[in-house]
């Protein structure tokens, strides 16, 4: 790590992550390289290695930011609302997911490869952000569905989290994929994130009452 203030270090890490975020809007994970990321930063490509050793570490940091933003939104929901019905809570959780398309896209990637190619310290940072997002969902359940209890909350989380991992491919379908489904004779209706998430969340919550 280069010498300098913590502010400079954080600013440069943020610049690298922001460059990755920009590239990922139009390029795939495989297409993005450290060279491409370096072209969008104000310092040399080799300087990136002072902060991240691999592009997987950069993607994990980007992923962590998305988890943090998701957690912030749910914490804000708890702070501003005293009560929510099951319908309202399901709707709020679904809207929160809908506002994080990048998080859902990253969730659909192979996390095993990203984590395997990242140092433990970077993985710990990512897991901390992931843990905060799970805790934020749990906080919503504790506040708005207090009768669920510990077992009910755990059951919901174990249903909700795997569901979220597989949500993106069902809501972001390419024209090529649509054509393939059509020619395969598979009836498929593309639905929005909210349209997919709301009935699932509401059904699970209702079933736990």
Q: Where are the domains of the chain?
A: 1-51, 55-207
pLDDT of residue 44: 81
Judge contact between 24 and 71, C-beta under 8 A: no
Specify the CATH number of the domain 1-51. 1.10.10
With 0-12 / 13-18 / 19 or more C-beta atoms within 10 angstroms meaning exposed / middle / buried, residue 29 is: middle
Quote the DSSP letter at residue 83. -
Q: How high is the pLDDT of residue 11?
A: 94
Task: Measure CA 42 to chain center.
Answer: 27
- Count CB neighbours of 148 within 10 A: 18
Long-range contact list for 19-23, CB < 8 A, 24+ apart?
Answer: 20/55, 20/58, 20/59, 20/62, 21/62, 21/102
1-51 and 55-207, same CATH topology: no
- What does DSSP assign to residue 4? S
Q: Which CATH class is domain 55-207?
A: mainly alpha
Q: What is the pLDDT of residue 4?
A: 62
Contact assessment for residue 62 and residue 107, using Cβ atoms and an 8 Å cutoff: no
Distance CA 141, CA 152 (A): 9
pLDDT along the chain (209 residues), means of 10: 74 96 96 94 89 96 98 98 98 98 94 93 97 98 96 97 94 92 91 97 95
Is 51 within 8 Å of 12 (Cβ atoms)?
yes
User: In whole angstroms, what is the distance from residue 141 CA to residue 157 CA?
Assistant: 10
- Read off the tokens for 116: 């395997």
Q: Nearest CA to 190 among 163, 168, 160? A: 168
pLDDT value at residue 23: 97
Asked whether 143 and 78 are in contact (CB, 8 A), the reply is yes
Counting Cα atoms < 13 Å in the Cβ hemisphere of 155 gives: 12
The alpha carbon of residue 169 and the mean position of all alpha carbons in its chain are separated, in whole angstroms, by 14
The tokens 């909350």 sit on which residue?
153
Integer Cα distance of 142 and 34 in angstroms: 42
């Amino acid at each position: 790590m280069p010498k300098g203030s913590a502010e400079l270090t954080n600013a440069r890490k943020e610049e690298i992550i922001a460059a990755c975020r920009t590239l990922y809007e139009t390029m795939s994970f495989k297409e993005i390289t450290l060279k491409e990321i370096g072209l969008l930063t104000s310092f040399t490509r080799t300087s990136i290695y002072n902060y991240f050793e691999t592009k997987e570490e950069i993607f994990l940091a980007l992923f962590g930011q998305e988890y943090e933003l998701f957690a912030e939104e749910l914490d804000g929901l708890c702070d501003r609302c005293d009560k929510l019905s099951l319908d309202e809570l399901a709707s709020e959780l679904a809207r929160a997911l809908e506002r994080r398309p990048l998080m859902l896209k990253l969730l659909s990637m192979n996390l095993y490869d990203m984590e395997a190619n990242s140092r433990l310290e970077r993985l710990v940072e990512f897991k901390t952000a992931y843990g905060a997002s799970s805790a934020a969902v749990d906080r919503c359940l504790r506040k708005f569905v207090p009768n669920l209890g510990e077992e009910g909350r755990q059951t919901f989380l174990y249903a909700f989290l795997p569901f979220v991992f597989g949500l993106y491919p069902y809501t972001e379908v390419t024209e090529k994929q649509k054509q393939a489904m059509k020619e395969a004779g598979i009836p498929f209706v593309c639905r929005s994130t909210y349209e997919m998430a709301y009935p699932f969340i509401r059904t699970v919550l209702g079933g736990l009452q």
